[in-house]
Structure 1
Amino acid sequence: MPSTPAPAAGPMAGRREWIGLAVLCLPTLLASVDLTVLYLALPRLSAELGTSATQQLWIVDIFGFMTSGLLVTMGTLGDRIGNRKMLIIGCTAFAAASLLAAYSPNPEMLIAARALLGVAGAVALPATLALITFMFKNPVQRGMAIATWMSTFMVGLMIGPLIGGVLLEFFWWGSAFLLAVPVMVLVVVLAVALLPERKDPNAGKLDWTSVALSLLAMIPLVFGFKELAKQGFAVAPLVALLVGVVFSVVFVRRQRQLDNPLLDLKLFSINTLRTALVLGIMVGALNSGVSLLVTQFFQVIAGLSPMEAGLWLLPPSVAMVIGLFLAPPLAAKLRPGGVIALGLGISTVGYVILSQVEAAGGLAMVVTGFGVLLFGMGLPSSLGTALVMGAAPPDRTGAASSLQQTGNEFGIAIGIATLGSLGMAVYRGQLSENMPSSVPADAADTAQHGIPGALETAERFPEVLEPARAAFTSGLNAVSLVSAVLMVGLAVFAYFSLRNVEAAPMGPPDGMGEGGPAGGYPLTESAAAEGPAPEGLPERSDPAEDVPVPRAEQRRGGSE
């Protein structure tokens, strides 16, 4: 397939759009802050509410189950009734559910509130990315907008432990949930004033049978992969995976039969979108598996407090943000396949460094390796999202956004299940071989269930601690080495699969558009390269309901 030039730049965004971007970044920032704050608050709320171990797991996991199960439905619903409307509904519901969570008198109510928070998140999140794609029509600015949107998640992870530490130092555990209320109210007010509405005027009715089937497919799949990481190959997660696969098949067959499907399967016939989704899932899987072990290394092996671990995570997180913002200008000069392959190659170096870490004195090496890894990850992360959104027809951006975020959820679940299981297998094997003979069988068995069990056992038998730390570090080494090998394969796949996607034009010579910075990002293969839109999908052009561009902006630069 011959390569062709990228599409011409669209109209430049103004100050209103950049302020709107800040509004759309707030829910993403809050979601990442809430994640780390919850982990810090969990021990205290568990003590006050008297939660069991099972209830603690549901308090943490129910949010992800509900979000992943409803993303496809809510993304498609946003295309039908309007993305701004969905954002307002989702943020309002998130604020109300946060209040319920903060003042929950028992574990059951808290679990229910967390479920409602997951539903609200699924309503709001696809709308944010769909509106960004709609507001920033110039690929130069859209690349930077998407990088900004993604970087807010990393900023939230950086400041989350610090905010959580302050809140829990001076207030009760419910303050961790109340943090969301004023922010979401602000988003709702500003959304009404600043954000445009975007929807497909020709969308059909929502098929509620498909909605039910998507839930019955997604939730068991995510649950199954997460439980595999905790239980291994036990009956419950395997049955859940089987149920999810069966309902997935039924869901796909129904979508093929409907005139107005919940998920338009023709989107997967777009090569650029399909390739970017696969890369997103795989990269997310490798990153999540290693990240889980690295964060445990900080607290369990290095003995850092949650706040200290958060501070040590600042340099790697900053490195990823730098990678996110370097990707658009690089992609303006190089093919995206090359930029993504470069990023994955850099991440491979980070994995190799982590594969050489030792338990004693390995903190600096872990920070270095993790920083290199995350810097490399920044390049494909923003470009992959831009490719998905740029390749989708304008009236399917809500569906494309939900696919991209659902892929992330699956990638994280798969990575934690598979790579987490590999790390645990190495840990158990090495600890079994090096278990001190003075440790009784029951205590040794507790230690082999995981590093938390080893710490518990070490309170009575201190001689367990050093071999357990060495075994855990060996698990990190093994997972990192396997990830490095897989990352090389992904880099080759990305380079050749995206070799026909050209770089986007750079836009204004000074690199700046009105009201914000400019970069460049690869939109997609042109219509000539990819062929006409698949049957049933509209051509990739702006929909009739686009917000008109002011005449002053139309006269500027010729492409506006």
Structure 2
Amino acid sequence: MSSRSPWAALAALCMPMLIVSMDVSVLFFAVPFIASDLNPSATQQLWIFDIYGFVLAGLLLTMGSLADRVGHRRLLMIGAVGFSGASILAAFAPTASLLILARAVLAVSGATLMPSTLALIRHIFLDDADRAKAIAAWNAVLAGGVAVGPIVSGLLLEHFWWGSVFLINVPVMAVLLVVAPLLLPADTAVVDRRVDILSALLVLGAILPTIYAIKEFAAEGWSVERGFALVVGLTLGTVFVARQKRLSDPMIDLGLFDDRRFSVSIWTNVVCMFALLGNSIIVTQYLQSVLGYSPLKAALWSIAPSALVAVAAPLAAVASVRWGRPMVMIAGLLTGAAGFGVLAGLLGVHTLLVALIGSTSIATGIVSASSVIADYVIGVAPAERAGATSGLLETSSELGGAVGIAVLGSVLNLVYRMAFPADLAVGQAGTSLAGAAATAKHLDKVQASNVLDAARGAFVEGASVAAWVGVGVLVSTALLVVWMTRTSDVADRQESAELRRLRS
């Protein structure tokens, strides 16, 4: 990197991350146009959305490990070609089925891009302070991409057909393919190992049904099918871990978890995504069903904090250099807990401002904490396993988000059912706020008003309890980080004392 600018390289690495994160939210505006043109069934419409996240989560770990074997820059460029091709296929898809397939291929390609970029940052930025700033910028781009996606989508759809929201990916990836050989380091330290196909299949078989079961449980409740999927996922996950322990050259070095700071950091990352996406399910429903916003308006307001907290990650990097990563993690977790506290105490006021203050506080705290977590996890990993460790970090994010939606959504729904007045529980009104809205359409004006008022009150009660759960999870994790810091410091001092004794 002596003849290359590391910061120019970082700009190149952030380009694909902006596109990958935009693809999470870029369909918000496009769905009505896609539905009108391709006429997908209700199930197909759900899969157009969900297939991207499912496949991405299932392949992050495998693609990270693959990057260590074939080369981070090489896999990044292969992924860019695949992402461009899948974007063109999606843009011109003549049927809903082909669009679903294209979204799946987009996810496969996206899974190659995410761990490769983070691993390359690990190789490019050897100075701890510079690496912290680089990873903070990487995180800020991820957060900003989710917020920018609907805006870009809306602007494109004002002038072009729905396929344009996918074609925007192509020129960005083309630029990456041109500048990557010029700005990014060559793959000089590629690990010469065979790809462990069985481990790859096991991790895919573990994560896909687990994510599916958790998300479906949150949306539809318990069923034998979802329970079976969860059991299959957990069983295959157990087999995967057992296999990694036996292999001399595993996909994931489980020895990293012997470092208490590494283990707590991964867990804290899970909790961060638990909070971030768990909050989204509360606030989105609140905006739509309590404040009466349209689905699109609710979605846009719910992601507004992402744009406001893009500066949180860079500030966290500066703070971590001055006060240390654990202090920033603790401060971020407690800031997020304060945001949940605002939601828990003030949602009954029924104003947009309360939702925005709470959500912005949560997003600011979580982005700050997750930024320094990524810096530590990538920094402590051996250079030859940077890709696999990046994949592990991002997989923990996907799992944390799914669990957050499931747990906080389930708490909300449970309290709603308990709080809804029995004498007004006609039709589906007592099951959910959406059920109450559907039932109210078939009632007279007075009865409909009573049912909807009761439903909003029950929802606010449920949302408040769910928010208190969020407070508890974040505060307890902050205490865990405090414990980790103290015990690790004691262990470090004891190790230093022992080394001094041996030298004397």
In the superposition, the TM-score normalised over structure 1's length comes to 0.82
Which whole-Å CA distance do the structure 2 matches of 1:301 and 1:17 have between them?
48
Relative CO higher for 1 or 2, CA cutoff 8 Å, sep ≥ 6? 1
Q: Give 1:180's aligned amino acid.
A: N
Give the AA of the match of 2:480: F
Give the Cα–Cα distance (whole angstroms) in 1 for the partners of residues 144 and 134 of structure 2. 15
* 2:20 aligned with 1:31: yes
**Which residue of the partner structure matches residue 456 of structure 2?**
469
Match for residue 215 of structure 1 among 174, 196, 204: 204
Q: How does 1:78-477 map to 2 (within 5 A)?
A: 78-198=67-187, 200-305=189-294, 308-309=297-298, 312-313=301-302, 316-359=305-348, 361-433=350-422, 435=424, 441=426, 444-445=427-428, 447-461=429-443, 462-463=448-449, 464-477=451-464
354 and 121 in structure 1: CA distance in 2 versus 1, 3 angstrom threshold: same
How far off its partner does 1:317 sit?
2.6
1:45 to 14, 34, 40: 34
Contact 1:161 1:307 in 2 (8 A): no
Cα shift at 1:32? 2.3
Q: Deviation per CA, 1:264-315, whole angstroms, max 9, x where unpaired?
A: 2222223222211011012211221112221232233323346644664576
The count of corresponding residues between Structure 1 and Structure 2 is 492
Q: Which residue of 2 aligns with 1:5?
A: none
Question: Structure 1 residue 416: deviation in Å?
Answer: 0.8
Question: Per the alignment, do residues 451 and 103 of structure 1 end up closer, same or farther by CA in structure 2, a change over 3 Å counting?
Answer: farther
**What amino acid sits opposite 2:330 in the alignment?**
A
Tell me the amino acid that sits aligned with residue 284 of structure 1: M
- SS state at 2:94 partner: coil
* Further displaced range: 33-42 or 278-287: 33-42
How far 1:234 sits from its partner (Å)?
1.2
Whether 1:493 and 2:480 are equivalent positions in the alignment is: yes
Q: CA deviation at 1:466?
A: 2.8
Are residues 526 and 395 of structure 1, via their aligned partners in 2, closer, same or farther at CA, if it must alter by over 3 Å?
farther
Alpha-carbon distance between aligned partners in 2 of 1:199 and 1:434, rounded to the nearest angstrom:
71
Query: Does the CA-based 8 Å contact 2:17-2:113 persist in structure 1?
Result: no
Q: Is the 8 A contact 1:320 1:377 kept in 2?
A: no
| Counterpart-to-counterpart distance in 1, 2:150 and 2:466 | 26
**Deviation readout 1:308-343 (Å, 9 max, x if unpaired):** 446645763345323212212222222322221122
Shift of 1:215: 1.3
Q: Equivalent residues in 2 for 1:488-527 (5 A)? A: 488-499=475-486
Q: Cα offset for 1:135?
A: 0.6
Q: Is the 8 A contact 2:252 2:389 kept in 1?
A: no
CA positional deviation for 1:529: 6.9
Q: Secondary structure, in 3 states, of the residue corresponding to 2:5?
A: helix
- Deviation at 1:200? 4.1
Secondary structure in structure 2 of the residue aligned to 1:173: coil
Q: How far off its partner does 1:435 sit?
A: 2.7
Contact persistence 1:335–1:501 (CA under 8 A): no
Letter in 1 for 2:465: A
Change (3 A) 1:342 1:238: same
| Alignment partners' CA distance in 1, 2:178 and 2:416 | 51
AA at the equivalent of 2:30: A
User: Contact conserved, 2:70 with 2:191, CA < 8 A, in 1?
Assistant: no
Q: Quick one: distance in 1 between partners of 2:159 and 2:292? A: 24
Match of 1:508? none
Relative to structure 1, is the Cα distance of residues 82 and 428 closer, same or farther in structure 2, using a 3 angstrom cutoff?
same
Conserved 8 A contact 1:158-1:310: no
- CA separation in 2, counterparts of 1:411 and 1:419? 12
Q: 1:240 & 1:208 partners in 2: Cα distance?
A: 22
Residue deviations 1:367-409, cap 9 Å, x none? Answer: 1121222222232111110110011111111111000000000
- Once residues 468 and 47 of structure 1 are traced to their aligned partners in structure 2, the CA distance between those partners, rounded to angstroms, is 32
Residue in structure 2 matched with residue 542 of structure 1 by the alignment: none
Q: What is the CA RMSD across the aligned residues, in angstroms?
A: 2.6
Is the 1:352–1:480 Cα contact (8 Å) retained in structure 2? yes
Task: State whether residues 209 and 233 of structure 2, in contact with CA within 8 Å, keep that contact through their aligned partners in structure 1.
Answer: yes
Shift of 1:480: 0.7
Aligned: 1:72 with 2:61: yes
Matches of 2:430 and 2:96 in 1, distance apart? 30
Distance 2:497 2:52 in 1: 38
Deviations 1:162-213 (A, max 9, x none): 2222223332222222221222222222212211134644432112122111
Q: Matched residues in 2 for 1:309 and 1:531: separation? A: 59
Aligned to 2:466: 479
**Higher fraction of helix:** 2
The answer for unaligned runs of 5 or more in structure 2 is 500-504
Q: C-alpha displacement at 1:465, in angstroms?
A: 3.0
Give the superposition deviation at 1:78: 0.5
CA distance in 2, matches of 1:530, 1:174: 64
What secondary structure sits across from 1:321 in the alignment?
A: coil
